[in-house]
Structure 1
Amino acid sequence: MIMKITKGEVRACSQLLDSYRSQNRLAESPVKLKFAGIGDCDVYNITAPFEDEGELVIAGRVEPRDSEHSHVLFFMEQGGVWSPSPDLPRLELQDPFYTRIGNEIVVGGVQIFPHPVHEGGLAWRTVMYKGDRLRELKPFFTGPDGMKDLRIAELRGGDIAVLTRPQGEKGGRGKIGFTRVSSLEMLMVERVEEAPLLEGQFIDEEWGGANELHPLAGGLLGVLGHISCFDAAGDVHYYPMAFVIDPYTGRFTDIELIAVRSRFLPGEAKLERLVDVVFSGGLVRREDGTAELYAGISDVEAQCLTIKDPFLHYEMIEAEW
C-alpha cells in the first residue's frame, strides 16, 4: 500500500491536548526508574534501553539539582536498580540519544560551551559519537552551533535520514527540518543547515523537536518527539508527540500527543515552572501493539509508561520510492 498523506491545519499545544484527552488514549503502568552510584545528582532525559555487547544499557543525563552542567553515563540494571557501568565512557553532554547505522552504535547529545558573544552565557550544539561498541565510541560529527535535537537514522536502502531543529531566523523558537544523505561521510554542517523545514507543524509561539527515529517495515519513518509552549504565567509545558514522514517524498502526518505529565507518577521538579515537562527519550515497541515510552520528567527524574504503539498503523504502508 502506498501512503497518501493529507496534511491538516497546524494545531497548537492546547488543541493537541484537547484531542488527546477526548480520545482517552492508553497510558498505564507508570514506573519510576531507580538509579544508584550518582551521588546527589538527578538522572533524567534518558534513552530507552538498548543492547551493547549482549547487555541492556540506558544512557542518562546526570546533573546536580542546582545546575545544568551535566554529563551522560551508561547504566546497567540489576535487581531493579540502574547503576553506571565503570567500563563505559562518560560523555560531557546533555540529553543523550542512540541509534544504529550499519553495524555501528551511534550515540549523541547536546554539548554546551561558552557563548561566543554574550559574556557569561552558554551556547549549544549536537555532538555524535560512533563505534562497534560503547567502550570504543569516538566523536565523528559536530552539528551547527545553536542546534539541539539533531537526529539520524538508517533508511531502507542505506540512505541516512536527518532531522534537524534550527532556531532563530530559520525556525524561530525551534522547528523540525528534514533531509537525506547517502552516508555518514556525507553528513556535513552545510547539509544540516540547508535542510528544508517541515512546514505546518508548529505555530510560531511554540516549538518542538525530534527525539528518536523509528524506520518502519514499509520504508516510512516514525518520529518520536516533543512539542512545547509557555503559558501566561511563563511556565513551560513539554508534551511527548509522534508523527510519520515519508523520507522519499517529504510528506508527513499531523503531530499527535502520545502522553501527558498527569499519566506518569507524581514527583519533584527542578523548578516550579518545569512541573509539566515530559521529554521523550525513547520508545520500545512491543509485539502486542503497545510501546514503552521512556521519558525525562520535570527535569529531575526518569519514568516509563505503557502506551499504544503510535507507529503500528503505518508499519506496513509502503513509502513512495
Structure 2
Amino acid sequence: MAVLSKGKVKTCGQLLQEFEEKATSIGPAQKLVFDGVGERDVYNIAAPFEDEGELVIAGRVEERDSEHSSVYFFVERDGKWVPREGAPTFELQDPFFTFIKGELVLGGVQIFPHPEIEDALGWRTVFLKGGSISELTEFAKGPDGMKDIRLVELPTGGIGVFTRPQGEKGGRGKIGYTKIETLEELTPSVVDAAPLLEGQFIEDEWGGANEIHVLKNGLLGVLGHIASFDEEGNRHYYPMIFAYNPEDGTYSDIELIATRSRFEDGPAKRPDLVDVVFSGGLVRKENGRATLYAGISDAEAQKLEIPDPFSKFE
C-alpha cells in the first residue's frame, strides 16, 4: 500500500489558487429538479445509491427561512426526482450513507434546543441501519456538537470512523480518525477520543469528511469540504479530497475539486451562503471521470462532471 507524504498546511486561498492554475476539464453542471415537496428546497443531497433495485437519492428538505428539515428519499420519474412512495422520512439534516457488511447505514444531523444557550440549537449525528430504506432503525448517536462523522468498511476488516470535533479539541472543526471492529462500538466516547489528523487546517478555517471511498489498493479516498469566513462574515465552502492510509495513518495534502463558479447560477438561503458548495457524494466512472453531487448555497442541489480525483492514488 502506498505511503502518503504530507506537505505543510494550506489555506483556502492557497488551495483555490492551485485549483485555478490546474485548469482541469470540469463540467458540465446540471441542476437536479425535485418535485412533490411543495415550495420547500432540497439540498445537501447524498450521491444516488441502489435500494431494492432502484436508484434513490436522500436529500435535505426544508423551508428557505428555516433550519428545521426532513430527510426524504427521492426516485427519478420523467426527469424529476419525487419522494419515493411509502418511504420513511426522518427529522434530520444532511443525509449520508454507506454499506457495512451488506447492510445500509444512513446518517444525518439531528438538531435540538441547546441545553445552555437560550434560543440556540444544539446538534448531533444520528445513525440508522437496516437491510433497506424501509427497515432503517436508529442504532447510535455521536457526541453532542459534532457533525461530519463518517463510517467505512475497511478491506482488512473493521470499520474506519472519521470524526470532526469542534471547540477545545478541534477549534472550528478538524478531522479525526479511529477504528472500531463492530457498529456496536460506535459510541460518543469512542468518537470523541479519535486522534486528529494534524496539519490540515489553519485555526481560522475548518473542514470535515463527507463520504469515504475504498480505493483499489486499500487506501481511503476522502471526499470532504474545507471552509472559511471572509472579512464580511460570509462563508466559503469548497469541495475537497485527500487520500488516507488506514494502515499507517499517513495522508495526502488536501486538494480542491470544484468551486461554486463551476456550477449553475441559482438562489442562496442567505446572503452569507452564496459561495457554499457542500460535497454530498461522488460517483466514480470507468472512463476516468466522476460525478460530484452537491448542495449549492444551502438552497438547491446540483451535479458536476469532474476528473476522477482518486484515480491517481490507485
Please state which band the TM-score falls in when normalised by the shorter chain: over 0.9
Contact 1:289/1:308 (CA < 8 Å) preserved in 2? yes
Q: Give the whole-Å Cα distance in 2 for the aligned partners of 1:104 and 1:300.
A: 31
Report what 1:101 is aligned to: 100
Structure 1 counterpart of 2:285: 286
Deviation at 1:86, TM superposition (A): 2.4
SS of corresponding position for 1:105? strand
Does the residue aligned with 1:294 lie in a helix, a strand or coil?
A: strand
Cα distance in 1 between the residues matched to 2:111 and 2:247: 33
Q: Which amino acid is the alignment partner of residue 238 of structure 1?
A: Y
CA distance in 2, matches of 1:162, 1:24: 33
The alpha-carbon deviation at position 151 of structure 1 amounts to 0.4
CA distances 1:149-188 after superposition (whole Å, capped 9, x unpaired): 0000101022101000000000000000001111112222
Q: Percent identity?
A: 61
Partner of 1:13: 12
CA–CA distance in structure 1, aligned partners of residues 5 and 85 of structure 2: 50
**CA deviation string 1:98-126 (max 9, x = no partner):** 10001100110100001010111100000
Match of 1:47 in 2: 46
Residue 230 of structure 1: how far off its partner (Å): 0.4
Q: What CA distance in whole angstroms lies between the structure 2 residues aligned with 1:199 and 1:305? A: 30
| SS of the residue 2:191 aligns to | helix
Pairs aligned (count): 314
Q: Quote the Cα distance in structure 2 between the aligned partners of 1:248 and 1:196.
A: 15
Which letter maps to 1:66?
D
Give the structure-1-normalised TM-score. 0.97
Instruction: Give the aligned partner of residue 119 of structure 2.
Output: 120
Q: CA separation in 1, counterparts of 2:46 and 2:221?
A: 16
Amino acid at match of 1:185: E
What is the match of residue 263 of structure 2? 264
How far apart, in 2, do the equivalents of 1:220 and 1:19 lie? 24
Q: What does residue 82 of structure 1 align with? A: 81
Alignment map for 1:142-221 (pairs within 5 Å): 142-221=141-220
CA contact (8 A) 1:158 1:183 kept: no
Show structure 1 runs of 5+ residues with no match.
Answer: 316-321
Report SS of the residue matched to 1:240.
strand
Q: Is the 8 A contact 2:4 2:244 kept in 1?
A: no
Whole-angstrom CA distance in 2 between matches of 1:219 and 1:271: 41
After TM superposition, the runs of 4+ consecutive aligned structure 1 residues lying more than 2 A away are: none
SS of corresponding position for 1:126:
strand
**What runs of 5+ residues in structure 2 fail to find an aligned partner?**
none
Q: What's the counterpart of residue 318 of structure 1?
A: none
RMSD of equivalent CA atoms: 0.7
- For 2:155, give the aligned amino acid: R
Output one character per residue of 1:198-223: Cα deviation in whole Å (capped at 9) or x when no partner.
00000000000000000112111000
Residues 54-106 of structure 1, C-alpha deviation per residue, up to 9 Å, x if partnerless?
00000000000010100100000011100001211101000000100011001
